[in-house]
Amino acid sequence: MPDLFRAVLDRIQGAYALCVIDQSTPDRLYVARQGSPLVIGLGLGENFVGSDQLALTHVTDRFMYLDEGDWGVITREQVRLWDVSGRVVERAVVQSHLGTEAVSKGSYRHFMAKEIHEQPRAVLDSLRLKLGSAHILSGILGPGSDEILDQVGAVQIVACGTSYHAGLVARYWIESLAGIPCQVEIASEYRYRDVVTLPNTLWIAISQSGETADVLAALRHLDQAHVLATLAVCNVATSSLIRETDLALLTDAGPEIGVASTKAFTTQLTVLLVLAGLLAKSRKVDSFDEKALVAELRQLPDLLTAALAIEPAVATIAELFADKQHTLFLGRGAMNPIAMEGALKLKELSYIHAEAYPAGELKHGPLALVDESMPVVAVAPNDALIEKLQSNLSEVRARGGQLIVFADHAVAQDGHSLTCVLPAVPARIAPIVFTVPLQLLSYHVAVLRGTDVDQPRNLAKSVTVE
């Protein structure tokens, strides 16, 4: 059978993670991986196979990860592996320190609620070992990374879903703090495009799981000649993405079980802001105040806790959405991707059609949709664009639209507006803090509508196929 299995592997193409049983030898598992994740869980007198360590955490804490093209035979007592060229190989055994409580709901009704409330801790953990008292630590992307950062001339970010929105926010930070041109693209588009890569590009993949097939394919598609180094911003240290990139910037959100990403997003944003600071530092940007950035980052856990405290007000606002079919989310500048993320959360969880627009673009089309039956959500921190946003919101009011404004300061009110007030937030970190009420909004709308909060229909946590 091993020969037959090997012969089949030689003939099949594309991405797969296989686990096969021959009826005549039911105590043996034949496994192989190519392009899709596969992990072996090691027990005493028993072994397990899964696509993700999290699925096996309740049965073992020791894992073995197959490399691309690896295949093997597993019995209760033994794991034998071969690499793609047929050589016998041994892969390292990784000891996991995740307790089973990390993958349980605790006292929460849903994983998503638990994960939303874990954000102050997740952000604090993600900043650990990255910051000194008033500076960003050196070498946090890996050995030799500071020398690489000194040479960066451009940044290309590639990601999918919520991680793509994190990339869009990062562009604002990287360009404004470091003055380095930054492009952001959806991985499923990037991988099939003739991409023009600027010289000395730092190529960044953002992925919570590190297993998203389109992101891995984009990584394999890049233009080696112009890419200085590849960097993974990822929540899973043992993922394929981390293994295949030169540098790593890990988030420490802990396992995220809810399909709709929450704490992974805010921790991605946090470490991406640290990265923007590192790039500004390497470039010796005169106007860059490292101490002020570090002080803002350190405020994040408390600000996130304060943002979570407005949950009762958000739960009341959610009642407005329970019977709606369409909504619009508005933001400007770095808050526009936050509006996009808010709209994505609402559609994923409650199946309400939600669209996001940069508020300045409203008059070029979506204003035609606005009437009394359409709630319009605006994220309005007290930043440089607040006056522009206020005048965009007046256009919505004038059409009788029901406005829901999340703000950290007093905003103009009337019978058509509902304002939900957050703690005052430094403008630079507002995208991170303002994400919280939008997550809470979609969560409560979904609960009211009775949808499956943790596993929305038709969606998967980790999209390991194209």
Using CB under 6 A as the criterion, which residues of the chain lie in contact with ligand G6P when the complex forms?
160-163, 207-209, 212, 215, 259-261, 459, 461-463
Instruction: Tell me whether residue 148 or residue 260 sits nearer to ligand G6P (CB atom).
Output: 260
Q: Give yes or no for a contact between 102 and 246, defined as CB atoms under 8 angstroms apart.
A: no
Instruction: Tell me whether residue 210 or residue 331 sits nearer to ligand G6P (CB atom).
Output: 210
Element (H, E) at 19: strand 16-20
Closest approach of ligand G6P to the CB of residue 192, in Å: 17
Closest approach of ligand G6P to the CB of residue 172, in Å: 19
Distance CA 23, CA 26 (A): 5
In 190-287 the beta strands, taken as DSSP E runs, fall at 201-207, 227-234, 247-250
Residue 280: phi and psi, rounded to 5, are: -65, -40
Closest approach of ligand G6P to the CB of residue 51, in Å: 13
Closest approach of ligand G6P to the CB of residue 183, in Å: 18
Residue 142: count of CB within 10 angstroms of its CB: 15
Closest approach of ligand G6P to the CB of residue 225, in Å: 26
Distance CA 175, CA 197 (A): 17
Residue 103: phi and psi, rounded to 5, are: -115, 30
Q: Please choose, from the candidates 40, 23, 20, the residue with its C-alpha nearest in 3D space to the C-alpha of residue 80.
A: 40
Instruction: Tell me whether residue 296 or residue 454 sits nearer to ligand G6P (CB atom).
Output: 454
Instruction: Tell me whether residue 253 or residue 259 sits nearer to ligand G6P (CB atom).
Output: 259
Instruction: Tell me whether residue 47 or residue 188 sits nearer to ligand G6P (CB atom).
Output: 188
Q: How far is CA 281 from CA 131, 153, 169, 293, 295, in A?
A: 13, 14, 19, 11, 16
Closest approach of ligand G6P to the CB of residue 301, in Å: 22
Q: Give yes or no for a contact between 63 and 96, defined as CB atoms under 8 angstroms apart.
A: yes
Tell me the residue length of the chain: 466
Instruction: Tell me whether residue 163 or residue 266 sits nearer to ligand G6P (CB atom).
Output: 163
Q: Please choose, from the candidates 236, 196, 242, 198, the residue with its C-alpha nearest in 3D space to the C-alpha of residue 219.
A: 242
Rounded to the nearest 10 degrees, the angle between the axes of helix 263-282 and helix 430-449 is 170
Distance CA 404, CA 187 (A): 32
Ranked by CB distance to ligand G6P, the top (closest) residue is 161
Q: Give yes or no for a contact between 31 and 49, defined as CB atoms under 8 angstroms apart.
A: yes
Distance CA 116, CA 106 (A): 13
Closest approach of ligand G6P to the CB of residue 448, in Å: 21
Instruction: Tell me whether residue 217 or residue 306 sits nearer to ligand G6P (CB atom).
Output: 217
Distance CA 17, CA 229 (A): 28
Which are the contacts of 102, defined by CB distance < 8 A and separation ≥ 6? 57, 254, 255
Amino acid 240 reads: S
Instruction: Tell me whether residue 261 or residue 327 sits nearer to ligand G6P (CB atom).
Output: 261
- State the alpha helices, DSSP H only, in 258-353: 263-282, 290-308, 311-318, 336-350
Closest approach of ligand G6P to the CB of residue 47, in Å: 26
Instruction: Tell me whether residue 209 or residue 230 sits nearer to ligand G6P (CB atom).
Output: 209
Instruction: Tell me whether residue 40 or residue 232 sits nearer to ligand G6P (CB atom).
Output: 232
Q: First vs last Cα of the chain: how many Å apart?
A: 30
Closest approach of ligand G6P to the CB of residue 281, in Å: 27
Closest approach of ligand G6P to the CB of residue 439, in Å: 12
Closest approach of ligand G6P to the CB of residue 340, in Å: 12
Instruction: Tell me whether residue 161 or residue 381 sits nearer to ligand G6P (CB atom).
Output: 161
